[in-house]
Structures are given as C-alpha cells and as structure tokens.
Amino acid sequence: MPKAKIMEKEKLEELRDRVRCAAVLERAGFAIDVKESTRKAMKYRHGAEIVIVIHEGRGWFDPLSDAKGDVFGLAEHLDGVSFVEALNRVTDLVGVVARDPVWSRPAGKPAHSTSVPERWAIRRRPWQGSMTWRYLRTERCLPTTIIREAIQSGVLREGPYSSMWAAHVNDDGVVTGWEERGPDWRGFSAGGSKILFRFGSSDAKRLCVTEAAIDAMSLAALEGLRQGSLYLSTGGGWAPATESAMRQLAARPGAVLVRPPTPIARARPLPAAFVPLPMRWAAIGCG
C-alpha cells in the first residue's frame, strides 16, 4: 500500500477516535432520550428523527430505516452531503465533547428490581407490522406462518430498537432469560440464565438443537414446522442447566437428536458431556 494511502487511513482512524457520534448529533440539534437509553445504546431524538449510538460512541443506526455506520456516515446521513464534506464537518468537531447523560443509577448496580419472568411478562408480543415483526420477516426472512406460530406459542417479545426477545425456559416452562437479537445487537438478558429456547411440540421425541433462536425458527421454516419436532436453542452456551434440560428431554423413549445442516448448525459439535446420552443420532430427513 502506498505511503500516502497509509497516512490517509491513519488520519481517518484518528478522527474516528477523536470525534464521537454524539457530538455530530448534538451539533445537528439532537438530544439524548435518557429514559430510552442505556450505556451501550443511547437514543437521540430530533423531532420525528431517531438515531441510536452504539459501540461506545463510534457507531450508530437509524431504527426507522436501514441506515447505519461510523461518524463520517452519520454526518453524510444527517445532512445529505458527500463524504468529503462530511469529513470536513467531522474535522470541525475535533475537541468538541458531547454532554454526558445523567444516568438514573450508578454503573455496576442491578439494572432491574423486578424478576426475569416479570420483566418478560410486561413486554408486548410482536404484531404484524411491528418493528420486531419487520426484523424477523424482512431481515431474517422468516415466513409469516413461523412468526405467527412463535408469537402464539408465547416465545417471542418485542425488544427495543427493532430487536427480538426469544424466551429460554426451564423444565416447568418458567422464563429464565431470553436471547436478544436485532439489526445491530446480539446479547442475552441481564440477570437471566441460559437453559433452552423451545419451539414446537412440547412432547416431541425429535429434538433439533441449534445455537440461536433465529436458527431454531429458520430450521422449523425449512422443515415446515415438522410434526413431533421440538426446535431448540442453547443460546450459544452450554451451562449445567442446559445439559440438565437436554438430559431430561433425551430420557424420552425413542428420542432422536437431529443435526441441522450447515450453516444453521454452524458445523460445531455438541459438548462431549452430551455425547453419551442414550439417543439415536439422525440427519435432517432421516429421523
């Protein structure tokens, strides 16, 4: 790479580090909505416009459109200018420090005083046309039938910023936490516990294990929500509670563990502790 190009790239990176998205937004007349913000995702408003600042101020996205990017992209997005003009405007903000929001609680203290099941219960289920519905239908390409079935099964909730919440439950059906997945967010509920996301026949013997609720629902869509199948997600983890729940399911007479095809399966094997379980392995279509 030519030396001039290297220097140019270094200057851009330096600008990204020195100017946060919040400074661009405040200069454009946006104000932070503290009640709707967290330290990881700060919501800024200007009239009907909304911008969410993420990645410690280095990134952003517009929850009302597909727009997202870095501080330069934000300057382009707000004013409809070229990259060169956006670069000039960002340069003018070097040394400008955005106002720090006054948070309602100190860092490190519990975010919620209510229990995990209570927090789940007060969230709305998605509905046709909602932000979560649009995310699942448009970005994740899930069929309407699968989305409706998941909603009716009670395993989905509306999350903030167009995200989806997918419930993890214990053997008694009590919600212990939820996977959080959105256009620019992936995580698990604060204070929650990963056990299993379950979608399908509760008394099924055909067990389809994936690493994410989105993958479990995608597999259900591929199979047409096959009768007698339970589509599971470990949430990308394998806690003792997850193993215990899987052993409980595997104890059913004639239980079949289905290995989803890649890329859904991510080509990763189940933990060694699960291999000795008394189950018959099956590939898709062979169960």
- Average pLDDT of span 123-138: 93
Distances (CA, A) of 59 to 9, 72, 75, 84: 18, 10, 12, 19
What share of the chain in percent tops pLDDT 70? Answer: 82
Give dist(CA 179, CA 193) in Å, integer: 10
How does residue 111 score in pLDDT terms, banded at 50, 70 and 90? Answer: low
> What structural domains does the chain harbor?
3-91 (3.90.580.10), 116-283 (no CATH)
On whether the CB atoms of residues 275 and 209 are closer than 8 A, the answer is: no
Cis, peptide link before residue 261, omega less than 30° from 0: no
268 has pLDDT over 70? no
On whether the CB atoms of residues 212 and 245 are closer than 8 A, the answer is: no
pLDDT at 184: 77
Give dist(CA 136, CA 221) in Å, integer: 12
- Average pLDDT of span 205-228: 93
**Coil, helix or strand for 209?**
strand
Give dist(CA 259, CA 93) in Å, integer: 53
How does residue 55 score in pLDDT terms, banded at 50, 70 and 90? Answer: confident
* Minimum mean pLDDT range among 72-81, 111-120, 207-216: 111-120
Sign of the four-CA dihedral 261, 265, 271, 277: negative
At residue 68, φ and ψ (nearest 5 deg) are: -165, 165
- Average pLDDT of span 208-232: 93
pLDDT at 29: 92
How does residue 38 score in pLDDT terms, banded at 50, 70 and 90? Answer: confident
* 130-137 contacts, C-beta under 8 A, 24 or more apart: 130/158, 131/63, 131/158, 131/161, 131/162, 132/156, 132/157, 132/158, 132/159, 132/162, 132/163, 132/164, 134/162, 135/162, 135/163, 135/164, 135/182, 135/183, 136/164, 136/217
pLDDT at 10: 75
- Average pLDDT of span 19-24: 90
pLDDT at 228: 94
Q: Per 3-state DSSP, what percentage of the chain is helix, strand, and coil (rounded to 5)? A: 35, 20, 45
243 has pLDDT over 50? yes
Give dist(CA 98, CA 182) in Å, integer: 27
pLDDT at 262: 55
Q: Which two tokens stand for residue 57?
A: 């101020």
Distances (CA, A) of 102 to 55, 95, 174, 191, 221: 19, 21, 35, 23, 45
Across the chain, what does the average pLDDT equal?
A: 82
Instruction: Name every residue whose Cβ is closer than 8 Å to that of residue 133 and which is 6 or more positions away in sequence.
Output: 126, 127, 147
2 has pLDDT over 50? no
Q: Give the global pTM.
A: 0.60
Instruction: Name every residue whose Cβ is closer than 8 Å to that of residue 191 and which is 6 or more positions away in sequence.
Output: 110, 111, 112, 116, 177
pLDDT at 100: 60
How does residue 1 score in pLDDT terms, banded at 50, 70 and 90? Answer: very low
